[in-house]
Structure 1
Amino acid sequence: MNLLAPQKKRTTVLRTIFRMVLGAFLLLAGISHLTVNREAFLAQVPTWLPIAGDFVVLASGVVEIVLGASLLALGRYRVQVGWIVAAFFVAIFPGNISQLVTHTDSFGLNTDLDRAVRLLLQPVLVLWALWSSGAWLAWRRYRAERRTEEDA
C-alpha cells in the first residue's frame, strides 16, 4: 500500500459529513481572514515572527481557503489533504499560544481561561482533520501492512 496514493475506497458517510463541515469551516475562516476579521486575526499573530503580521493574516487566509476547498472537492486525495490540514493546524498553534501568553483579547477570548480552553481545542482540530479525511485510518492500514511484510 502506498500511503500517498489517491484513495479509491469510499469513506463512511459520517466521515464525509465531518470532512465537508471542516472544509466549509476552513473556507469561511479563510475568507474572513481577508475581509471582516482581518484585525481580529492580526491580534493572534505572534509579535516575535520576523514577518509582517498583515502578510501572515492574508497568507494564512489564502491557505485556509485552498485547504477548505480541497477538503470539499478533492475526495480522492482526501488522505493527503487531511495530513496537510492537520499540519496547518499544528503550524498555527504558536499564534494561539502567543494570544494566551500576551493576554491578547480577540474573537471574544477576553480571559486567560478562555484563551487556555482555545488551546485545548487545537488538538481536536488536528484529530478532526486526520479522522474525517481517513488519513489516520490510512496510516494504521499502512503500518499494519508493513508489520505483516516484516513478519513474512
Structure 2
Amino acid sequence: MTHPSPLQTLIGLAQDDVDAAAQRLGRVQRERNDVETQLDALITYRDEYHTRFTDSARQGMAAGSVRNFQAFIDTLDSAIEQQRRLLEQATARVEAAKPEWQRCKQKLGSFEVLQSRQDEVAARKEARREQRDADEHAARILRMRAPQHL
C-alpha cells in the first residue's frame, strides 16, 4: 500500500475545507431563502388583508373594527420590519460565507497546480530514465553484434 505524498494529503485536507465551506454557504443561502419567503408571505398577507378591509370599509364599518384593523396592520408592519432585518442579517451571512468558500477553492486550486507540476516533473524524469535505459540497451546490442578484435 502506497502512502499519499504530503501534497496529496494537503489536497485532501483542502478538499475537505472546500466541502465544509460549500455546505456552510449552502446552509446560509437556504436560511436566507427561507427568511425571504417568510417576508414575501407576510407582505402578501398584509396586502390581501388591507384589500379586504378596504372593501369592507366602503360598505361601512364600526369604529372599533377600524381600530382593530389598524392595530392588526401595525402588528403586521412590525413583523414585516423585523423580517426585513432578519433578511438583511441572513444576506450578510451569505456574503460573509462566499469569500471563505472562494478562499478554500483557491487554496485547493493552488495545491492542485503544485501537484500537476510535480507530476510533470516526475513524468519527465521517468521519460529520461526510459530513454537512457533504451539507449543503454541499444548500445549493448550493438556491442554484442560488433566483431571483436583480438
TM score, norm. by length of structure 2 = 0.35
- Higher normalized helix content (fraction of residues): 2
TM score, norm. by length of structure 1 = 0.35
